[in-house]
A and B are shown apart, each in its own frame.
Chain A
Amino acid sequence: QVQLVESGGGVVQPGRSLRLSCAGSGFTFSSYAMHWVRQAPGKGLEWVAVISYDGGHKYYADSVKGRISISRDNSNNTLFLQMNSLRAEDTAVYYCARERRELLPHDAFDVWGQGTMVTVSS
């Protein structure tokens, strides 16, 4: 079945780095734009970043620009989120999500991972 599985979360000190992974299966991973979305404890959903199906285009929310980098390895059906200079306010559950239609932008997110928790604390 179509599935996304995140990994890589954990507890990290402020200023340190962490890389999240999201493994896709059950669909042609290389045909879909992919996103990261996060939810801080007690807060709403916040869109973080997007990468085009081929990795050629990447965009970020202002809150993470310059500190976070999205990438993908289509040969291994894996999406990544490299997070540097982490702050307490980056503490959240991080979800990867697939854009609904192949090769077409501006669509909803129809498949989501289960989420991975990142806690930034000394």
Chain B
Amino acid sequence: DIQMTQSPSSLSASVGDRVTISCRASESIAAYLNWYQKKPGKAPKLLIYAASSLQSGVPSRFSGSGSGTDFTLTISSLQPEDFATYYCQQSYSTLRTFGQGTKLEIK
């Protein structure tokens, strides 16, 4: 199975900060990389698909980049509603896998 590793596991930041989360795949997954936001008690929400495409309705402060094995999610200016846990997921393999998550907390 393809292993996905996110860094950091947790991150403290302030409203207005620029934040970057990294995700590394154990083998090349081309651009088959997706990002989700998860808040407690809520379903996950798709933010970015195919590494860099913004899902409809998602604010433009979210962006994604990368290909092959290394990917990043960037939030250009943190808003209060952005404090959540973020997961990367590969869709290259039929057996999908998620990263372990990055918890974004208020500083």
Taking Cβ atoms with an 8 Å cutoff, the residues of A that contact B are 35, 37, 39, 44-47, 50, 59, 61-62, 95, 97, 100, 105-110, 112-115
Contact = CB atoms under 8 A, between A and B. Distances in A.
Contacts of B38: 39, 45
A50 B44 CA distance: 17
Contacts of B45: 112
The SS class assigned to the A binding surface is strand
B98 A95 contact: no
Given A45-B38, A45-B87, A95-B44, A107 B101 contact: no
A29 B97 CA distance: 24
Nearest to B43: A112
Contacts of A100: 46, 49
Nearest to A109: B46
Interface stretch (B11-19, B68-76, B88-96): B88-96
The 3 closest A-B pairs by CB, nearest first: A108-B49, A108-B34, A112-B43
Contacts of A95: 43-44
Given A59-B94, A108-B34, A109-B44, A44 B49 contact: no
Nearest to A105: B94
Contacts of A45: 36, 38, 44, 87, 89, 98, 101
Given A107-B50, A107-B91, A108-B46, 8 more contacts: A45-B38, A47-B89, A95-B43, A108-B34, A108-B49, A110-B46, A112-B44, A114-B43
Contacts of A50: 94, 96
